[in-house]
Amino acid sequence: MLSKIISCSISGIDGCLIDAEVDLGNGLPMIDIVGLPDSAVKESKERVRSAIKNSGFPFPAKRITINLAPADIKKEGPSFDLPIAVGILSCLQIVPFEVSKEYMFTGELSLDGSVRGVNGVLPMVYSSYTNGIKKFIVPYDNRDEAALIKDAEIYPVRSLRHLCDFLNGKEEIKRYTVEVENIFNSTNGEMLDFSDIKGQENVKRAMEIAAAGRHNILLIGPPGSGKTMAAKRLPSIMPDLTFDECIEITKIYSVSGLLKNKNMLINKRPFRAPHHTVSASALTGGGRIPKPGEISLADKGALFLDELPEFSRNVLEVMRQPLEDGQVTIARVNGTVTYPADFMLVAAMNPCPCGYLGDGDKCRCTQNEIAKYTSKISGPLLDRIDIQVEASAIKYEDLKDGRSSETSEEIKERVVKAHKLQLERYKNDNIQFNSQLPPNLIDKYCVLGKKEQAMLKSAFDRLGLSARSYHKILKVARTIADLEGSEYITAKHIAEVIQYRNLDRKYLM
């Protein structure tokens, strides 16, 4: 007796349809699972056996062969428990095969027959739906994220017995739906506000420019100058996510096992702040079974690296390629996976080991100590940071100033206006922000007059900038012009950008 049940596996953040083929034949009672399974999949035969028996069904005393096809794709995790169990029960004619073949099944089985939630249900349902599958049997715990796919018929189950009664028409399971629009437009608590920051107008201005064009930014200043405070408030002024971006981020968190039912749709831009002891694999993703790292969890949002020179140099260097490509590829013996990593880098550092360089007699660091400290940041990495701004020490007058500071809502209004200009300008170029401009489009959208060209040439020669830095200056200048609603880049815009590129020469030589 042969049955074929539709299931799904995960590759990166995308699903891949898998057929769980089950054959019951004569021979010594045993279970063989083939099709490139990992340890968790091989162990499913013991979970399935106990779950079927403890659900009150007979377990066949036959040779059971289970093939997970296509066989050249690595199968990982416990999500194949449920389709394998349904395949065996279908071979025994306990559940009708004609009914079960209409559904995609996923779920882990407990020994008592209850169905446990699994990671990656959203990308499984999304990919299966785009491949023509309309009906889905998912664990009850994963019902909310599965129902985010509009028009997909989601039927959540609590146990194997519950599922069998449903397939046999003995019990009704209502199709589960959620109000996607309400979830997308919901607010998850209050955000930190820029009005909390006293003084530091130059830092606020730099953060506004960075948010408007999604430019990488480095804050340099002494301890207590508000670098971390400003960074944590960045999401409050970034443009809102689109629904497709929400789905992409939610898929990443689903695969990582970080998605909870109460936050089933990530509708706010992520803000990740790993500790400086983070490893390279934790930052970029990896492991024996590859999982998304911090740069992928920050996709469409911001990655904040506080105390940048304290990070291991090799950890920082692995970010160079993702910063350029917006994705990270992890290669293993059994295959290669690619995760999105379209993040905005926000970094902060002290100007010297003690942090008080330039503050009178407080700094006791030698030139060698300063050079050793700042040399931990390589030139190629610094070259990929669009804006470098100095956060000076806060003055007493700023703290006691009773005037209200500009709120995040007011700053965001200008940021969103500039972003709309970019969306309209690049609607045929498949990009959204000025920072994403490829070299072949820079001359088209960043036109300079003779005065602006002369100013940029002078800065290029004086600061010894690279070709990448040249392009970064033009992109940031384009963003500043957009914030002012200017069609053209003027000398004033170029002059402001150059201020954001000379700190690497001041501190990092």
Same domain, 284 and 400: yes
Mean pLDDT of 269-295: 90
Q: What is the pLDDT of residue 502?
A: 59
The percentage of residues in the chain with a pLDDT greater than 70, rounded to a whole number, is 95
Q: Examine residue 70 and say whether the peptide bond preceding it is cis (omega within 30 degrees of 0).
A: yes
397 and 449 in a common domain: no
pLDDT band at 335 (very low <50, low <70, confident <90, very high): confident
Asked if residue 112 and residue 43 are part of one domain, the reply reads yes
- pLDDT single digits (tens) 206-225: 999 999 999 999 999 888 88
Choose the final residue of a domain: 178, 210, 236. 178
Amino acid at 91: C
pLDDT at 505 over 60: no
98: domain CATH number is: 3.30.230.10
Judge if 66 and 207 occupy the same domain: no
Q: If you write DSSP's letter for every residue of 304-357 in order, what string do you get? A: EESSGGGS-HHHHHTTHHHHHHSEEEEEETTEEEEEE---EEEEEE-SSSSS-T
Instruction: Based on the fold, state whether residues 148 and 206 are members of the same structural domain.
Output: no
Are both 105 and 214 inside the same structural domain?
A: no
Pair (245, 297) in one structural domain:
yes
Asked whether residue 225 falls in the same domain as residue 281, the answer is yes
pLDDT in tens, 419-447: 999 999 999 998 999 999 998 999 899 99
**Beta 135-139 vs 103-105: how paired, if at all?**
parallel
Cα distance between residue 78 and residue 68, in whole Å:
13
Per the structure, how many domains does the chain have?
3
Does residue 131 lie in a domain region? yes
- Do 379 and 493 lie in one domain? The reply is no
Condensed to tens digits (0 to 9), the pLDDT of residues 55-102 reads: 999 999 999 999 999 998 889 899 999 999 999 999 999 999 899 999
pTM: 0.89
pLDDT at 263 over 70: no
Same domain, residue pair 465 and 385: no
Q: Please indicate, yes or no, whether residues 473 and 356 belong to a single structural domain of this protein.
A: no
pLDDT in tens, 167-211: 999 999 999 999 888 888 877 667 788 988 888 889 999 999 999
What does the angle CA 243 – CA 239 – CA 426 come to, to the nearest 5 degrees? 80
Domain end, chosen from 362, 393, 423, is at 423
- Which residues are paired to 157 by β-bridges? 139
**DSSP-derived pairing of the beta strands 2-11 and 14-25:** antiparallel
| 240 and 306 share one domain | yes
Q: If residue 480 lies in a helix (H) or strand (E), which one and from where to where?
A: helix 467-483
pLDDT at 509: 42
User: What domain range includes position 23?
Assistant: 2-178
Tell me the C-alpha distance between 49 and 88, whole Å: 10
